[in-house]
Structure 1
Amino acid sequence: MQFFSPLFLLILIAAVLHHSTARPLPPSAASTSYPKQALPHKSGYLTVNSTSGSAIYYTYYEAHKNTPKISLNTPILIWLEGGGPSFGCASMTANYFQIGPWILNQNLSLEPNPGPWNNIFGLLFLDNPIGTGFSIAASPQEIPRNQNDVAKHLYIAIKKFIALDESFKTRPIYITGESYAGKYIPAIGYYILKKNTYLSNDSRLNLAGVAIGNALVDPGIQLATYAVNAYNLFLIDEKQKALLDDLQFEALQCIKSGNWDEATNARNRVLDTLTHMTGLATLLDCRRLIPYQYNSAVDKFLNNVEIKRVLGVNESLVFEVCSDTVADALKEDVMKSVRYMVEFLVEKSVKVLLYQGQSDLRDGVVSTLAWVKKMKWEGLERFLKAERKVWRVDGKLAGYVQKSGSLSNVVVMNAGHLVPSDQHVNSQVMIQDWVLERELFAGEMNEDITNDFELPPTMY
């Protein structure tokens, strides 16, 4: 996380303002370590504070199979990273480790992703909040400390991105992400719908849906599931479960008293204790003998001066996979619920997809179902009674899908917290079928399914 002298900041602001209207990267920008064909269509900065110069860094890949004939109705997916073991993590990590068109190897070379999310959709990565990844926070005070402020910055950035190309204006927007982005995604979706009520049709953002993976949405409810879930999986015994129950109760008491800082500390104690009791390499995937391996490679790759130059990043910036400064700023936000924002989205018939890797013990299936059951939504009973269908990809078991109305939930087999990393192809199939309302996602939302992209009806 970097903060700058006034003189340097002025120079940086000029660069940011230039990049906020970034043009497609020229072929000459390619280097030997970054193949020409792997270059993003656009990248640069979207200024969220024109006075201070604070800005969100973005990278955009156009739909691969539709290029160069992009329809005005071709969806744009926006990815927001939340974290994994930490908070304040950069979306550029997901770009090179999970869903981007090119995946980074441990030897720091790029190879084609077998399941990129920009196969038939545009794909936009935003390093959010400011101070994360390559994004710029002109001062620590500007880093958001709550979801409303996160949403304000995201809204400005998305509006500025849409303004970069006239063809973007009508294209449906789907906001996606994972982990702590389970807070960011509902927050920006809620913010967009509220703003749209005051805007003319041609000024509104065309929000069509949100996809939330392995997410922290209602921390208090989710926290209360850790002990019983681990016990039912035979990872801890009754005595250990009782100790975890006590630690969970302490955290819940902090939430009830509004002691948000200590509530976050108490949750960390639960997670640390559970990790120690089980002996697992990581709670993010109980199958793994070692944790996910991506931090070091992505960090080295994106701190290469040549790579920064290719991606339109100021060469003096130091990339961090996860920012401690941003995590500290958000500490009192961690245990606050955004469930009411998800309820608002489904009530307004915005498509909502929840998905979890079966092997995630932290923000996985049991954790998600616990808060879903508490939703205040008139369609909840129908959703809970809806048939849970077997999902197969190329004839092989991929998971399970439950859907009713605007809400869908997917359990992904053989995956942990980072579903797209564990299941590149299956996650691609999942997101495509959900957006296009095909296969197990067809029926209630749209009985006449075609392969053509259709604009959703006006929300208001």
Structure 2
Amino acid sequence: NRKFGILFLDNPIGAGFSMASSPQEIPRDELSVAKHLFIAITTFLQLNPSFKSRPLYIAGESYAGKYVPAIGYYILNKNAGQLTEHRRVNLAGIAIGNGLTDPVNQVATHASNAYFSGLINQRQKIELEKLQSEAIDLAKLGLWSQATNIRYAVMDSLQKMTGLATMFDYTKKVPYEINRVTRFLQNEVVKRALGVKESVGFHRCSDAVKNALHEDVMKSVKNMVEMVLKKKSKVLLYQGQYDLWDGVASTEAWVRTLGWEETGNFLMAERKVWKRDGKVAGYVQKWRNLSNVAVFGAGHLVPVDQPLNSQEMIENWVLDQGLFGEKDLLSNHWGTFS
């Protein structure tokens, strides 16, 4: 937040500190999620009118590969409707990190990704591909719950085949220490500072939310990304190169199928080497309002693995500077790309 205001939203209802009065209140689809987020965002802007004119960028990672396009799509539709000028939301762009956005195309990549990373052999690859095809076929039939179950079976099988400490980063010897966040937010002093009741617990991952959205898992929101692009809002996709869940190959698989008039030009755009302090930081492909970044030395949780590079990536994307500038700048204050 050294250059921007930042607001964290615990989403969906039932996750983080957000509370659901009953399991039935938890959303079961992306439209419901978007409605809740829209109310949260517009209420915040009403309570803090000094932020109203600022450009809004919405970012999230992993399953927020669904939430972020959904709220972007919802805002743009609302803005185009009957909203008065003072109630419109000034959406400027969306950013998705290691996101699950178009599951049918993405689930098809796991076996090849692991095979060409040297993690499984051809027999195991064929075994995984059979499971992947089953998940895809079930999704095409609209059997969403069964399709989700088979997708989880794909990942469980890959975990057993590889014996990795975490599928979020195949180079790690131990899993991410993500429980630190939960311990911090459960601290009584922190709760008081945030205005949270002592009796309210923080749920980093909620089983109730997972169950509510079970049938949503294999559904695509690619059409929502297409709409955001067509409305000229900026879209940033970024992935850590070591992620086996929703990594680089997984993202490229669905980006190649985008129904956007500039998709062909984007796919032909040069993929540039991004360097920081003389070291490779990642690879950047950009055309018009779509940018895709593969982050070097990172897994599923890019800001955890590469915090400084992540910060500057976001700042330069928002400000249209450096590798995200309209002009082909070869260097700037924070690094070079060639």
1:328 paired residue number? 211
2:332 paired residue number? none
| Displacement after TM superposition at 1:304 (Å) | 2.4
In structure 1, distance between residues paired with 2:193 and 2:321? 37
In structure 1, distance between residues paired with 2:49 and 2:200? 31
Matched, 1:268 2:152: yes
Which letter maps to 1:341?
M
Deviation track 1:187-215 (CA, whole Å, cap 9, x = no partner) reads: 00000000001223322100000010000
Write out aligned runs for 1:121-270 (5 A). Answer: 121-198=4-81, 199-270=83-154
Deviates more, 1:160-169 or 1:339-348: 160-169
Larger radius of gyration: 1
In structure 2, distance between residues paired with 1:252 and 1:381? 25
In structure 2, distance between residues paired with 1:388 and 1:300? 40
1:302 paired residue number? 185
Which letter maps to 1:294?
I
In structure 2, distance between residues paired with 1:256 and 1:388? 33
Counterpart of 2:221 (choices 331, 335, 338) is 338
1:53 paired residue number? none
Q: Alignment partner of 1:299: what SS?
A: helix
In structure 1, distance between residues paired with 2:181 and 2:150? 31
| Displacement after TM superposition at 1:307 (Å) | 2.1
In structure 1, distance between residues paired with 2:319 and 2:109? 33
Matched, 1:443 2:326: yes
| Displacement after TM superposition at 1:394 (Å) | 2.7
| Displacement after TM superposition at 1:315 (Å) | 1.1
Which letter maps to 2:98?
N
Aligned 8 A contact 2:240 2:296 in 1: yes
Deviation track 1:294-318 (CA, whole Å, cap 9, x = no partner) reads: 22x2222222223211210011112
Give % identity: 59
Write out aligned runs for 1:94-105 (5 A). Answer: none
Deviation track 1:241-278 (CA, whole Å, cap 9, x = no partner) reads: 11101111111121011111111110010000001111
1:363 paired residue number? 246
1:93 paired residue number? none
Which letter maps to 2:105?
I
In structure 2, distance between residues paired with 1:278 and 1:339? 30
In structure 1, distance between residues paired with 2:26 and 2:75? 20
Q: Alignment partner of 2:47: what SS?
A: coil
In structure 1, distance between residues paired with 2:185 and 2:324? 37
Q: Alignment partner of 2:226: what SS?
A: helix
Which letter maps to 1:158?
I
In structure 2, distance between residues paired with 1:176 and 1:253? 31
Aligned residue pair count: 329
1:404 paired residue number? 287
Q: Give RMSD over aligned pairs.
A: 1.5
| Displacement after TM superposition at 1:443 (Å) | 1.3
Aligned 8 A contact 2:192 2:198 in 1: yes
In structure 1, distance between residues paired with 2:199 and 2:102? 38
Matched, 1:386 2:298: no
More helix by share: 2
Aligned 8 A contact 2:42 2:87 in 1: no
Deviation track 1:368-424 (CA, whole Å, cap 9, x = no partner) reads: 000000111110011011111111223321111110011000010000000001001
Which letter maps to 2:174?
I
In structure 1, distance between residues paired with 2:189 and 2:272? 48
| Displacement after TM superposition at 1:320 (Å) | 1.8
In structure 1, distance between residues paired with 2:319 and 2:277? 18
2:259 paired residue number? 376
TM-score (norm 2): 0.95
Q: Alignment partner of 2:202: what SS?
A: coil
Counterpart of 2:198 (choices 315, 327, 351) is 315
In structure 2, distance between residues paired with 1:406 and 1:287? 32
In structure 2, distance between residues paired with 1:351 and 1:308? 35
Unaligned runs of 5+ in 1: 1-117, 448-460
2:278 paired residue number? 395
| Displacement after TM superposition at 1:133 (Å) | 1.1
Aligned 8 A contact 2:97 2:238 in 1: yes
In structure 1, distance between residues paired with 2:321 and 2:189? 42
In structure 1, distance between residues paired with 2:135 and 2:29? 20
In structure 2, distance between residues paired with 1:407 and 1:130? 30
In structure 2, distance between residues paired with 1:150 and 1:411? 28
Deviation track 1:81-130 (CA, whole Å, cap 9, x = no partner) reads: xxxxxxxxxxxxxxxxxxxxxxxxxxxxxxxxxxxxx1101111000011
In structure 2, distance between residues paired with 1:142 and 1:332? 16
Deviation track 1:326-385 (CA, whole Å, cap 9, x = no partner) reads: 110000001000000001111111000000001111100000000000111110011011
Which letter maps to 1:137?
A
1:26 paired residue number? none
In structure 1, distance between residues paired with 2:279 and 2:86? 44
